[in-house]
Amino acid sequence: MRIGVLTGGGDCPGLNAVIRAVVRKGVKEYGYEFVGFRDGWKGPLEGLTMELTLATTRGILPRGGTILGSSRTNPFKIENGVEKIKENLAKAGIDALIAIGGEDTLGVATKLDALGVKVIGVPKTIDNDLNNTDYTFGFDTSVNIAMEAIDRLHTTAESHHRALVVEVMGRHAGWIALHSGIAGGAACILIPEVKFSVDKVCEWVESRFKSGFAPIIVIAEGAIPQDGDMLTKDQTLDAFGHVKLSGIGEWLSQQIEAKTGKEARTSVLGHIQRGGTPSAFDRVLATRFGLHAITAVHEGDFGKMVALHGTTIARVPLASATEKLKTVPVEMYKESEIFFG
């Protein structure tokens, strides 16, 4: 059997750990051959491949990013995209495909599965917003990066008696903001799922100052003020119709300064949250996903995604991953409010 592997969408720590596990078990236990497709769906679309062997996948476990490259290419937006993919898979002698990605990549995989391509999905995203899996790999690493940033910001905020706003990723789901904010002892956490009141944020800012500490406000890039809209960088859309978000942290700092008279600054963590080496949790989760994905291929159980349910790796219908977005339950967010202010 020849198996194709691709990584699509925003990169995240742990992608290489999946590739390594898939290849290691596939070669050693099943005697399979592998073909790496470059840059997400662009690879099978344009026939861009690279060798994936035991040798080429050694030493990559702790490396961030993806040795295969990634892109946000949407074959359904390209003329004859699906036909081209099918042709290139046939040319490369591919029997099955393992697609490692988030909402967009797995959305494409689901449609291709319905069109007869044999595919297994592996859930990745720092956003942790894929449905039907308790966690995606990459999330734990970014939460740790954001938490460390918050820890560092506490001391400089206190030295300067400033409010510091930390903008983290999360377009529609506030998982990174919630977890890093709780772990970092934020004075308030603002997520896309719950619209926020600027006046309430200012009250929390003032009460944190009164307690002798300086407030750190953690805000997800997609958070929305009660009487406003999501802030976007410009009007351009990517191939999956997403806008570029930017500016809510800076906007909030200005509001805090204007309403409280306290100095406020913003740090936007941006792609720092996606770069670098994966945490131990993500290395283990990504490795287990990889091992189970290749077993699913071996058993011919296509149209499935490997998923974490509790501590067990389950196999779920691929379509269920993108059926809806896994957002933060409001009750879970409310639990953290006791620490605000």
Binding site for ligand F6P (CB under 6 A): 10, 102, 125-127, 169-171, 221, 245, 274
Q: Report the residue number, 81 or 102, with the smaller CB distance to ligand F6P.
A: 102
Specify whether 11 is catalytic. Answer: no
Q: Rounded to the nearest whole angstrom, what is the least distance from the CB of residue 57 to ligand F6P in the complex? A: 24
Q: Report the residue number, 78 or 239, with the smaller CB distance to ligand F6P.
A: 239
Structure tokens at 328: 């933060």
Amino acid identity for residue 191 in this structure: I
Q: Rounded to the nearest whole angstrom, what is the least distance from the CB of residue 125 to ligand F6P in the complex? A: 5
297 Cβ neighbours under 8 A, 6+ residues apart: 1, 3, 26, 32, 96, 98, 118, 120
- Taking a C-beta distance cutoff of 8 angstroms, is the pair 222, 192 a contact? yes
Active-site residue identified among 11, 39, 104, 127: 127
| Residue 193 burial class via C-beta count within 10 angstroms: exposed 0-12, middle 13-18, buried 19 and up | buried
Q: Report the residue number, 81 or 170, with the smaller CB distance to ligand F6P.
A: 170
Q: Rounded to the nearest whole angstrom, what is the least distance from the CB of residue 92 to ligand F6P in the complex? A: 27
- Taking a C-beta distance cutoff of 8 angstroms, is the pair 11, 286 a contact? no
CA distances from 209 to 56, 204, 222, 336 (A): 54, 9, 26, 19
- 66 Ramachandran zone, left/alpha/beta (phi>0; psi -120 to 50): beta
Q: Report the residue number, 238 or 301, with the smaller CB distance to ligand F6P.
A: 238
Q: Rounded to the nearest whole angstrom, what is the least distance from the CB of residue 169 to ligand F6P in the complex? A: 3
**Residues with catalytic function:** 127
